[in-house]
Amino acid sequence: MNKFIQHNMKKKYFIGFCVLFSSFAISQSMKNNMLYNGKKEIAKVEAEGCGVFSSNCVYHISSLDDKPLMSIALLESVNPLKKDADGKPSIELYLRFVFSDLDKAAEMDATWLNLKKSIAQTIVKNNFIVNQQINEGAVNNFIKLYGERYSEREKSHKEIILVK
C-alpha cells in the first residue's frame, strides 16, 4: 500500500510540474500599451477608465499599424437573487468582447484577480490575432461558446439580472 501511495504522489508531483512548466513556456502579457505573445508584440492596447477598483474599464486593441481590431469592456450586472455578505444584491463582473470588422460580440465571466493577464491570455490562447488581423474562424469558435449575452445566459439559470 505504501508503494502505491508513493507512486501516486510522484505522479501528482510530475503532473503538477508539467502544468507549472507549460504555463511558463508561452507567456501572454499586456504591458507598456502592447500585447505580447512570448516576447513578440502582436497588438497595441489602449486602456480607458481602467483605474484601481474601476468597473467601467475598456481595452481597445489595435494592430501594430493602428487598425482597430477589438474592444473589451469590463461591465457589471446586478443579480438580485444572489446576495453578498451584507445581504445586498450581488454585483457580477463580466467582459464584453466586440470584434470591430466582424460586427460580432461575446461575453464571458470576469472574476479573475489579474484582468490584464486574463485578457491577454484569452486573446492569445484563442488565436484572435493572426498577421495583424482578426482571425474570423477563431472568433466564430469563441462566439459559439460565449456569444449569448451574459444577462441572457444568467436568466436561463432562473435568475433575474439587471444590467447597468
Q: Is residue 124 part of a domain?
A: yes
- pLDDT bucket at 138, cuts 50 / 70 / 90: very high
23 pLDDT higher than 50 = no
134 pLDDT higher than 60 = yes
Q: How far is CA 28 from CA 6, 9, 17, 21, 161, in A?
A: 35, 31, 19, 14, 33
pLDDT: which is higher, 155 or 51: 51
- pLDDT bucket at 11, cuts 50 / 70 / 90: very low
42 pLDDT higher than 70 = yes
Give the highest mean pLDDT range of 29-38, 99-108, 124-133, 148-157: 124-133
Q: Is residue 91 part of a domain?
A: yes
- Owner of C-alpha cell 439559470: 157
Distance CA 47, CA 61 (A): 9
Where residue 132 falls (left for φ over 0; alpha for ψ -120 to 50; beta otherwise) is: left
Distance CA 91, CA 54 (A): 13
Q: Is residue 9 part of a domain?
A: no
- Residues spanned by the domain of 103: 28-163
- Owner of C-alpha cell 464571458: 108
Q: Is residue 104 part of a domain?
A: yes
Q: Which stretches does DSSP call E strand in 103-151?
A: 104-109, 129-130, 133-134
Helix (H) or strand (E) holding 137: helix 136-146
Rounded to 5 degrees, φ, ψ at 128 are: -65, -35
3 pLDDT higher than 70 = no
Q: Is residue 2 part of a domain?
A: no
Distance CA 135, CA 4 (A): 48
Q: Is residue 11 part of a domain?
A: no
For the chain, the first-to-last Cα distance in angstroms comes to 58
Q: Is residue 23 part of a domain?
A: no
pLDDT at 154: 55
> How many structural domains comprise the chain?
1
Q: pTM of the entire structure? A: 0.71
pLDDT at 45: 93
| Sequence-separated (6 or more) residues with CB below 8 Å from residue 125 | 28
Q: Is residue 58 part of a domain?
A: yes
pLDDT: which is higher, 45 or 8: 45
Residue 28 C-alpha cell reads as: 501572454
DSSP 87: S
20 pLDDT higher than 50 = no
